[in-house]
């Protein structure tokens, strides 16, 4: 059983993984034996990430790269193949959100979210698939969202992107499954990271943010998730244990999608 989940000898690229969910997923893949490669937008963040991995006893390789820049991504993937090895596991994690009511959102802002959250997973996947085909195996994990299934006020661009990412996941599985490439998604529930910090900020009187209380009432587990809650699911989808799982989104949400919410 242990062998089925082992990632010994595998190279994993996790995008935007200096901290937050990406960092936790990368650490779990490293603990299962994988060699970790990650990127971030600026050298300063890459350096912080490298120090954080080192503190965990993980030797990681960090690159500066904007995942929306196709030429930059292609150059980074070529450099990784030369310096570290062919990428066996790709986790499309880098993402942004803009919480703006739709009628107040500019088309440029909408496009920016789509660019990072949907176009970039296309660009990075496209860059790694040819070598996976040559190798006869590959794993792609797209970090989806509750918003791959649900809408809410102010997140039109994010929901459109994450809904699209779910379908990109199914399409990569459909198009490249015959080459022994599995593409699946992880749909995290509400996870405590810098991205969701504004939704958990304490009120002036020290009470919980109303959105914080709302999420607790919507989650059967009655808590926010931690990035570490995604570790086991990520290892499963990166390993041979999931070789016949393809085009699936594994929601890791403490039960949100199953629940109508606590009656006030
Ligand atoms: P986060 O704390 O904001 O971290 C996102 C990471 O992506 C940062 O390292 C950021 O880099 C990087 N990034 C953003 N744009 C990039 C670009 N163009 N090129 C390269 N890197 C870029 O977010 P998180 O909460 O850990 O979320 C990680 C993923 O999970 C995202 O896709 C998010 O949508 C998804 N997700 C989050 C939650 C949640 O509750 N937190 C739930 C479901 C899904 P910088 O440091 O340079 O900004
Ligand atoms: C929001 C949140 C979410 C989460 C996550 C849920 O404003 O509703 O930021 O969208 O980050 O993606 O799964």
Distance 146 CA to ligand 2 centre (A): 7
Assigned domain for 218 exists: no
Nearest CA to ligand 2 atom 4: 190
* pTM summary value: 0.98
Which atom of ligand 2 is nearest to 187's Cα? 13
CB contact set of 159 (below 8 Å; sequence gap of 6+): 145, 147, 148, 150, 151, 152
Assigned domain for 210 exists: no
pLDDT for residue 180: 98
Q: What is the CATH number of the domain that holds 41?
A: 3.40.50.720
Domain that includes residue 98, residue range: 11-192+225-258
d(CA 223, CA 192): 10
| Number of C-beta neighbours around residue 130 at 10 A | 11
Which of 48, 95, 256 to probe ligand 1 with, by most ligand atoms within 8 A of CB?
Answer: 95
φ/ψ of residue 37, rounded to 5: -125, 135
pLDDT for residue 2: 73
Domains: count for the chain: 1
**Chain segment 103-136, per-residue pLDDT in tens:** 999 999 999 999 999 999 999 999 999 999 999 9
Assigned domain for 106 exists: yes
φ/ψ of residue 60, rounded to 5: -115, 160
Assigned domain for 206 exists: no
102 in Cβ contact with 53 (< 8 Å): no
| Range 166-189 average pLDDT | 99
Residue 1 has pLDDT above 80, yes or no: no
């Amino acid at each position: 059983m242990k062998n089925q989940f082992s990632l010994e000898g595998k190279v994993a690229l996790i995008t935007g993984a200096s901290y937050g969910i990406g960092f936790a997923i990368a650490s779990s893949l490293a603990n299962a034996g994988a060699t970790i490669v990650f990127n971030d937008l600026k050298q300063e963040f890459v350096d912080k990430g490298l120090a954080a991995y080192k503190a965990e006893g993980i030797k990681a390789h960090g690159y500066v790269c904007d995942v929306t820049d196709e030429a930059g991504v292609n150059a980074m993937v070529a450099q990784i193949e030369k310096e570290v090895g062919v990428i066996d596991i790709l986790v499309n994690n880098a993402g942004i959100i803009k919480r703006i009511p739709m009628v107040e959102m500019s088309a440029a802002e909408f496009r920016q979210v789509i660019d990072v959250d949907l176009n970039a997973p296309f660009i990075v996947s496209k860059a790694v698939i040819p070598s996976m085909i040559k190798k006869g195996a590959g794993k792609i994990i797209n970090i989806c969202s509750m918003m791959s299934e649900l809408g809410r006020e102010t997140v039109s661009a994010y929901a459109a992107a994450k809904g699209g990412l779910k379908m990109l996941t199914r399409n990569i599985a459909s198009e490249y499954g015959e080459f022994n490439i599995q593409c699946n998604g992880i749909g995290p529930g509400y996870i405590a990271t810098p991205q969701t910090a504004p939704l958990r900020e304490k009120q002036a009187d020290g009470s919980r943010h109303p959105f914080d209380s709302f999420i607790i009432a919507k989650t059967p587990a009655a808590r926010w998730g931690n990035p570490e809650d995604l570790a086991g699911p990520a290892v499963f989808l990166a390993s041979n244990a999931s070789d016949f799982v393809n085009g699936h989104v594994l929601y890791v949400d403490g039960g949100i999608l199953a629940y109508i919410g606590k009656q006030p």
